[in-house]
Amino acid sequence: MQFTANLSAIRAARTHAAEKDIRSYLNGVCFDLRAGRIYATDGHRLFVCDGYKADHDAVIVSAGTIDAALKQFTGEHGRGKRNGDAVVVMTLDGDTVTIDTPCGMVSGKVLDGKFPDVSRVVPRDAGDIKLSGFNARYLADAAEALAIYRNIPAKRNFGVSIHSRGNESAVITDGRDGALVIVMPMRTDAVGTPQNALQWFHDTPEVSGMESAAA
């Protein structure tokens, strides 16, 4: 059978796949055909976006196969380019998946195992923002993945919003449907509230020679 995915979606999902995890099914990108979604997670953060929908079980394509295919999409197929969001055709034959690239076919074995039920970590609704701790690098990666998904050039400004309810996972979006990133909370020494930092700033003596500005 054949299924498709946007090139930018594959690129974005790959950024959140695990690397050499003992849970082999995390070391790739999951194309959930029944749900019409694409997932990737390393157990600490999760990327989700729209995908191809078909009456077929999920297909987990290894990170190695994805990487080999993405290397072929250069030039006009680069990120932010006119065809950087091209449709990629994949063919599933037994336990082998073949990806059609501008330079030929790239094939690899699909990964065994059942992908985690990602709905368990995606909040049902947004709540009040409370104190919580997150890996800052994961938050940066989330913004980068969403920019890749939208086929935004690397150097162009791109904003996201972060929503969290205390110790629950953070939901990162760019304000549009089609993709989101979930980042799990972590213990951190960066405790306190914004008020602490604001108080510190305003308690600092004024620097002479600076022009005053209206608040």
The residue range of the domain holding 152 is 118-203
Is the confidence at residue 16, as pLDDT, over 70?
Answer: yes
Segments in the chain forming alpha helices (H): 7-14, 63-70, 136-149, 194-203
Residues 167 and 122 in one domain: yes
Residues 7 and 102 in one domain: yes
Residues 102 and 8 in one domain: yes
* Residue 210 is assigned to a structural domain of this protein: no
Residues 6+ apart with CB under 8 A from 27: 17, 18, 19, 20, 21, 62, 63, 111
pLDDT grade for 214, boundaries at 50, 70 and 90: very low
Q: Which pair of tokens denotes residue 209? A: 């020679």
Q: Which pair of tokens denotes residue 102? A: 């501008």
* Residues 152, 135: Cα–Cα separation, whole Å: 24
- Assess contact for 196 and 208: CB atoms under 8 A: no
* Residues 44, 18: Cα–Cα separation, whole Å: 9
Question: Please, which residues bridge with residue 93 across strands?
Answer: 96
Residues 127 and 104 in one domain: no
What's the pLDDT tens digit per position in 76-93? 999 999 999 999 999 999
Residues 8 and 79 in one domain: yes
Is the confidence at residue 4, as pLDDT, over 50?
Answer: yes
Of 86, 23, 87, the closest CA to residue 60 belongs to 23
Residues 45 and 123 in one domain: no
* Higher pLDDT, residue 213 or 182: 182
